[in-house]
Structure 1
Amino acid sequence: MKTDKPSTYTIRVSSEVGDLKRLLIHSPDRGLGKVVPSKAQDWLFEDIVHLDTMRRDEYDYYVKLLLYFLDPEKVRGRIAEIDADESRSFYKPGAEGYFDSDRVVDLQSLLGFILKDEVIRTKLIASICGIEKCSYHTQLELTAHEPDELAKIFISGSLSDERMLFSPLPNLIFTRDIGIVINDYILLNRPAKAARTRESLLAQYIFFHHPMFVDYRDKIIEIPDNDKHFLLPEDEKLNDYNRSTLEGGDVMMVAPRHLLIGCSERTTLYAAQQVMRILFAKNVVDTITIVKIPKKRDYMHIDTIFTQVKKNMWVLLHSLGRQGDEARKKDVLHFFAAQALDQELKIMQFHKGQEHTPIEIENLEDLLAEISRNDLGCQDEVKFIYSGNNEFPFGDREQWTDSCNLLALKDGVVIGYDRNDKTLDAFRAQGFRVLSAADLLAQFEAGTLAPDTLTDTFIMLPSAELSRARGGSHCMSMPIWRNDP
């Protein structure tokens, strides 16, 4: 941010569908263009992407949409001018024409700001060089760079002359995973994979040192590790009962006093229990529901199998819902094999003061309907939209390209990918208007539609390259302020 003085910013999220007011994003950086096939899986990226297409033809629409809803003065009447900017200065933190919004905030701009402080810059250079096992010469070389360029280097792993110093952070576009706001507390993640260690360190420095979060520093929660982790044998350190790893895609603030935590490929039960203990002790929430999903790459986090569309509507993968559960139980061999491998979906709900007597919930639909009715006070019928319109094989195909991973800009207005045709048909059947990002922006510019009056709308984001990264609009956002539902 441009200001050099601490300012007061509202940090509060108490639902998934309250009007979105502020969020953290990260636009695709030059590091994504450096991912090579032989290292893609090590760097936790699904594929190599065409960076310019991902930026200009896809992600830039995401930024313009977010600005139109959250900070319209930055873009209203300027879309044609912005699109004509070949230098892309509007989207680049540190550039002369950068949009510099305090509502749609790029992590890189926050990092560049804190690196202006010489003490922070020195500490962070030393920390990153230690993690990346850099030479002393490289450490000295990094001290010579200006803060904005240094921020780019830390994120992309490369210098402006194309030389790579260390691996890129291609997953940083999925800002949801670095942390989550729970009411007015900030829960920082503990990544499951070493490839995201630098990412986590950068987030830690940003949240503890940027003025945006100065009033919330005593409300930042870091998940403790096993007290005796350094004494455990190496094989036991990898055991889920000892590991404390959690990523933001497995945490949903669904109602002011109710939090969901997924146990998945990336988030362990041990970490979920630690978060529950801390939040109950601080009286942040009264109810925590743990949703254990199969540890499969297809799912990864709970927000890949369901997200909320409006107070009384959810989108989810049918094979992990009620129908899928019934079908699996009929297949006796599958059922017992899955039980033996601990691959079944399980839902346990814990209430403050009654942690030792959790309630088991049979299926996702029952859980989500309960949230809509009991926590959000919905009087209307609770509805479910299924990935691929519940048609084989499109449910699984479209879930793989993030049909269930939607960001609600407000109740009933969501952003998702344009390629999930059957899921879009299901939205149309529920009365939703389905518009491409380009068409919607054109109508905003013409004054025929307005963000404030938009209802029941699915906004289609171009996604040929973005979908190859295996994360949707929900993954690509960290809301830090929503109106209460």
Structure 2
Amino acid sequence: MTPHNPNFKLDVTSEIGTLRVLLVHSPDSGLGKVVPSKAQDWLFEDIVHLDTMRGGEYDHYIKLLMYFLDPTKIKGKLAEINDPANKRNFFKPDNADFHNSTKVVEIQTLLSDILQQADIRKKLVAAVCAIEGVTYRLQLQLIDINPVELAKIFISGSLNDEQMIFAPIPNMIFSRDIGIAINNHMLLNKPAKKARARETLLVRYIFFNHPLFEGYRDNILEIPDTVQHFLRPGEEQESKTTLEGGDVMMVAPNHLLIGWSERTSVSGANEAIKLLFENDVVEKVTIVKIPHKRDYMHIDTVFTQVKRNVWVLLRSLTPGEPSQEDAEPIAWFADKKNKDKPEIVQFRKGKKPKTFSTLEALLDNISQKDLQSGEPTRFIYSGNNEFPYDAREQWTDSCNLLALKEGVVLGYDRNDKTVEAFKQSGFSIVKVQELLQKFETDELDPQSMTDTLILMPSAELSRARGGFHCMSMPLQRDSVI
């Protein structure tokens, strides 16, 4: 059972406040079973080498998170953890040496915890088996499996090393997409693709049934489908109500961004705004429309925040010109024939909507008005704003950075031109392998770091089309204002 964290509270008011608790999912065996013929159906561009992704790349991420969030779990133990002769597995919860941190929280652990409850186990087995279409006899067999093993089966799709009983859910490493903490509320997603249906179901059960979130049950928001949606003809994406966490950013205590993208529909954004305003969660929501292409996918592939006054983004996206005001989010974007319809619209509770002509104008407004930075807003551009590196490096997540604290962010080592742009902006650059050793030997203290881009190895992780912003669901951050 996950140990109790007496200091835990669901509390995220920005993208850059010092990170205290986050939810992750380390790569599981299902990632190693993605086949080329099904890769795109499972939302992967390529097949990955699991051992390299784990040991050579993602494991550095977990170690780094531990030094920043839960140092007692790793300080003084790095050499032992790194020693291959020990065959330790610090990162997966089915191993005796698993860290079981209450601050770097593994989704699989929480799933194992709730499966200890017989009634929850029966209900969740029935629900998974229903959406996967397995036999009733297999359903009965699964009910009797040990909860720790059952959690692995639900995620990997494998009954054992030889037998797969349903598809893996390899996208669970992108924990950002399954929900987003907004102040002390949790907004759960409605995925656009069938491949993410099972992980959404598992996470819903976790948030409504795990003791960690017991005090927040009434604060969990689920997006409904639009009224009588089942009567509408066709299966077109734009007719569905969808929303994914990569399209949602909590940029200030009263301000949320929602992307209208390939994966989040305008009706999904509309339903989210209604929920958020009805429950007094935020005062304003800005919809940012980006091209509905795989190149972009979510708004956090186009921009993320580094400091109160610093953002990293792709410059080549050019929004349209502002148009007349309207009352409903859906109405703003309904008329496709009008090319002058705005692409960035801010909806404010009890006030008329407001438009922004460029992404930079919106981000500057957030820095100056919402976060009161007091310094000029600066932009670091993907690929150092050079063609073709801007597009190449955005594809490999140059704009998808995770802030561990204000000014200290993680990114992939392969995005050379973007790294150069950070240097030109006065940031220190350090490779994670060197940084971990400095933490271990007390040459450097994580809490004293400022204005640093930490470079993470990325040969296999980048194939999965997501950066560290995607691979994190912050549950608790310090306030920045």
Q: Normalising by structure 1, report the TM-score.
A: 0.93
Aligned-partner residue type, residue 398 of structure 1: E
Counterpart-to-counterpart distance in 2, 1:341 and 1:47: 37
Counterpart-to-counterpart distance in 2, 1:409 and 1:444: 15
Deviation per CA, 1:84-133: give whole Å up to 9, x if none. Answer: 15534211103211100000001000001100001111111111011000
In the alignment, structure 1 residue 180 sits paired with structure 2 residue 180 = yes
**Which of 288, 292, 305 is residue 291 of structure 1 equivalent to?**
288
Deviation at 1:340, TM superposition (A): 5.5
Does the CA-based 8 Å contact 1:427-1:458 persist in structure 2? yes
Counterpart-to-counterpart distance in 2, 1:129 and 1:296: 32
Aligned-partner residue type, residue 176 of structure 1: R
Mark the runs of 5 or more structure 1 residues left unpaired by the alignment. 327-338
> Where does residue 276 of structure 2 map in the other structure?
279
Counterpart-to-counterpart distance in 1, 2:455 and 2:426: 16
In the alignment, structure 1 residue 308 sits paired with structure 2 residue 305 = yes
> Where does residue 202 of structure 2 map in the other structure?
202
> Where does residue 421 of structure 1 map in the other structure?
416
Does the CA-based 8 Å contact 1:291-1:345 persist in structure 2? no
**Which of 366, 380, 403 is residue 361 of structure 2 equivalent to?**
366
Name the SS of the counterpart of 1:319 in structure 2. Answer: coil
Q: Structure 1 residues 72, 7: CA separation in 2 closer, same or farther (over 3 Å shift)?
A: closer
In the alignment, structure 1 residue 87 sits paired with structure 2 residue 87 = yes
Q: Structure 1 residues 232, 373: CA separation in 2 closer, same or farther (over 3 Å shift)?
A: same
Does the CA-based 8 Å contact 1:321-1:365 persist in structure 2? no
Aligned-partner residue type, residue 291 of structure 1: V
Aligned-partner residue type, residue 119 of structure 1: D
Counterpart-to-counterpart distance in 2, 1:343 and 1:456: 39
Deviation per CA, 1:59-108: give whole Å up to 9, x if none. Answer: 00000001110001111111111111553421110321110000000100
Deviation at 1:342, TM superposition (A): 7.0
Does the CA-based 8 Å contact 1:347-1:363 persist in structure 2? yes
Aligned-partner residue type, residue 115 of structure 1: L
Q: Structure 1 residues 195, 345: CA separation in 2 closer, same or farther (over 3 Å shift)?
A: farther
Deviation at 1:142, TM superposition (A): 1.3
Does the CA-based 8 Å contact 2:24-2:107 persist in structure 1? yes
> Where does residue 70 of structure 1 map in the other structure?
69
Deviation at 1:341, TM superposition (A): 10
Deviation per CA, 1:404-457: give whole Å up to 9, x if none. Answer: 000000000000100000000000111111111100001111111111100000
Q: Structure 1 residues 344, 170: CA separation in 2 closer, same or farther (over 3 Å shift)?
A: farther
Does the CA-based 8 Å contact 1:320-1:345 persist in structure 2? no
Deviation per CA, 1:280-335: give whole Å up to 9, x if none. Answer: 1211111110001110000000000000001110000010158xx79xxxxxxxxx
Deviation at 1:277, TM superposition (A): 1.1
Name the SS of the counterpart of 2:90 in structure 1. Answer: helix
Task: Give the number of aligned pairs.
Answer: 466
Counterpart-to-counterpart distance in 2, 1:6 and 1:361: 42
In the alignment, structure 1 residue 123 sits paired with structure 2 residue 123 = yes
**Which of 226, 232, 238 is residue 236 of structure 2 equivalent to?**
238
Q: Structure 1 residues 304, 434: CA separation in 2 closer, same or farther (over 3 Å shift)?
A: same
> Where does residue 224 of structure 2 map in the other structure?
224
> Where does residue 251 of structure 1 map in the other structure?
248
Name the SS of the counterpart of 2:105 in structure 1. Answer: strand
Aligned-partner residue type, residue 368 of structure 1: L
> Where does residue 96 of structure 2 map in the other structure?
96
Deviation per CA, 1:371-418: give whole Å up to 9, x if none. Answer: 000000111111000000001100000000000000000000000100
Does the CA-based 8 Å contact 1:176-1:478 persist in structure 2? yes
Name the SS of the counterpart of 2:404 in structure 1. Answer: strand
Aligned-partner residue type, residue 68 of structure 1: Y
> Where does residue 332 of structure 1 map in the other structure?
none
**Which of 350, 353, 357 is residue 353 of structure 1 equivalent to?**
350
> Where does residue 401 of structure 2 map in the other structure?
406
> Where does residue 136 of structure 2 map in the other structure?
136
Deviation per CA, 1:330-358: give whole Å up to 9, x if none. Answer: xxxxxxxxx7697998100111012xx32
Deviation per CA, 1:3-50: give whole Å up to 9, x if none. Answer: 4x8967311100000000000000000000000000001111121000
Does the CA-based 8 Å contact 2:188-2:204 persist in structure 1? yes
Counterpart-to-counterpart distance in 2, 1:194 and 1:342: 31
> Where does residue 333 of structure 1 map in the other structure?
none
> Where does residue 371 of structure 2 map in the other structure?
376
Correspondences of 1:21-36 after superposition (within 5 Å) = 21-36=20-35
Name the SS of the counterpart of 1:384 in structure 2. Answer: strand
Deviation per CA, 1:136-155: give whole Å up to 9, x if none. Answer: 22212212321111000000
> Where does residue 451 of structure 1 map in the other structure?
446
Does the CA-based 8 Å contact 1:294-1:345 persist in structure 2? no
Q: Structure 1 residues 448, 289: CA separation in 2 closer, same or farther (over 3 Å shift)?
A: same
Name the SS of the counterpart of 1:278 in structure 2. Answer: helix
Deviates more, 1:312-321 or 1:185-194: 312-321
Does the CA-based 8 Å contact 1:313-1:384 persist in structure 2? yes
Does the CA-based 8 Å contact 1:304-1:405 persist in structure 2? yes
Counterpart-to-counterpart distance in 2, 1:374 and 1:6: 35
Deviation per CA, 1:215-263: give whole Å up to 9, x if none. Answer: 0000000001112022222x1x5352x4210000000000000000000
Name the SS of the counterpart of 2:243 in structure 1. Answer: coil
Counterpart-to-counterpart distance in 1, 2:397 and 2:161: 35
Does the CA-based 8 Å contact 1:28-1:54 persist in structure 2? yes
Counterpart-to-counterpart distance in 2, 1:402 and 1:120: 38
Counterpart-to-counterpart distance in 1, 2:7 and 2:408: 28
Does the CA-based 8 Å contact 1:308-1:314 persist in structure 2? yes
Counterpart-to-counterpart distance in 1, 2:315 and 2:220: 36
> Where does residue 431 of structure 1 map in the other structure?
426
> Where does residue 193 of structure 2 map in the other structure?
193
Counterpart-to-counterpart distance in 1, 2:432 and 2:37: 34
Deviates more, 1:140-149 or 1:65-74: 140-149
Which stretches of structure 1, 4 residues or longer, exceed 6 Å deviation after superposition? Answer: 5-8, 341-345
Does the CA-based 8 Å contact 2:12-2:477 persist in structure 1? yes
Q: Normalising by structure 2, report the TM-score.
A: 0.94
RMSD: 1.8
Counterpart-to-counterpart distance in 1, 2:186 and 2:172: 18
